[in-house]
Chain A
Amino acid sequence: AQSVTQPDIHITVSEGASLELRCNYSYGATPYLFWYVQSPGQGLQLLLKYFSGDTLVQGIKGFEAEFKRSQSSFNLRKPSVHWSDAAEYFCAVGGAAGFQKLVFGTGTRLLVSP
């Protein structure tokens, strides 16, 4: 069965510092991988996605993620965090076929300190 693990419940980063949010997945075939961000009281917004090809994918708001098949990981990174990045971040995995449901991780809450 497919699953997603986000080992960090909370992360605090100083503004201007770099960020890495961890995501490990379990999936029996080639996975489709996603990162979403959720601001308080809002829905989820897609940051980036990986389907195939280049393992380093660029997303919105200066985020990037790297797919590492050997480690079953899809970690999210940003070189310099801004206070507005404080939010909840969700990693998700799914399959190529549209009928396959996405499975979400439990989320990582990012706090940004001045």
Chain B
Amino acid sequence: EADIYQTPRYLVIGTGKKITLECSQTMGHDKMYWYQQDPGMELHLIHYSYGVNSTEKGDLSSESTVSRIRTEHFPLTLESARPSHTSQYLCASRWDRDGYTFGSGTRLTVV
């Protein structure tokens, strides 16, 4: 049962377009995360948030930006998509001592 939702599941878009990947959770978790997962399957943290109006860059540099205006919503935006942004993007949330709960991911292809 998914309590964290990502839309769209798949997106094919042209170079230079602006895109927003949506992530919403219904669990009231303060902490949320965005990971980029390459074809080699390794997870790279690109953004995280510890609450409303709190956002930080992760370990992997990314041209994307995030916002956290509401607890349940943590969208990721690319102002100008490029083929190098082609990847799978995973959103997750966490409640203190628990592990992460992941969404199903958005597979982005930039052509």
Residues of B within 8 A of A45 (CB): 102
- CB A63 to nearest CB in B, in angstroms, measures 14
* CB atoms of B41 and A43 under 8 A apart: no
Evaluate contact between A101 and B45: CB separation under 8 angstroms.
yes
| The stretch of A14-22, A64-72, A77-85, A103-111 that contacts the partner chain | A103-111
**For B6, what are the chain A residues with a Cβ–Cβ distance below 8 Å?**
43
List, in ascending order, chain A residues with CB within 8 A of B105's CB: 41-43
Size of the chain A interface, CB-CB below 8 angstroms: 26
Q: A109's contact among B41, B96, B98, B107, by CB below 8 Å, is which?
A: B41
Partner of A99, one of B31, B42, B103: B31
Q: Verify B95–A98 contact, CB threshold 8 A.
A: yes
Q: In the assembled complex, which residues on chain A have CB atoms less than 8 Å from the CB atom of B48?
A: 101
Q: Is residue B87 contacting chain A, with contact meaning CB distance below 8 A?
A: no
Number of A-B contacts (CB under 8 A): 58
Shortest beta-carbon distance from B76 to chain A in Å: 15
Q: How far is the CA of A90 from the CA of B92 in the complex (A)?
A: 15
The answer to whether B99 and A101 have CB atoms under 8 Å apart is: no
Shortest distance in angstroms between B26's beta carbon and chain A's nearest beta carbon?
15
Interface pairs (22), CB distance under 8 Å: A32-B99, A34-B99, A36-B99, A41-B105, A43-B90, A43-B102, A43-B105, A44-B90, A46-B99, A46-B100, A49-B98, A51-B97, A90-B43, A94-B99, A98-B30, A98-B31, A98-B95, A99-B31, A99-B50, A102-B100, A106-B40, A107-B43
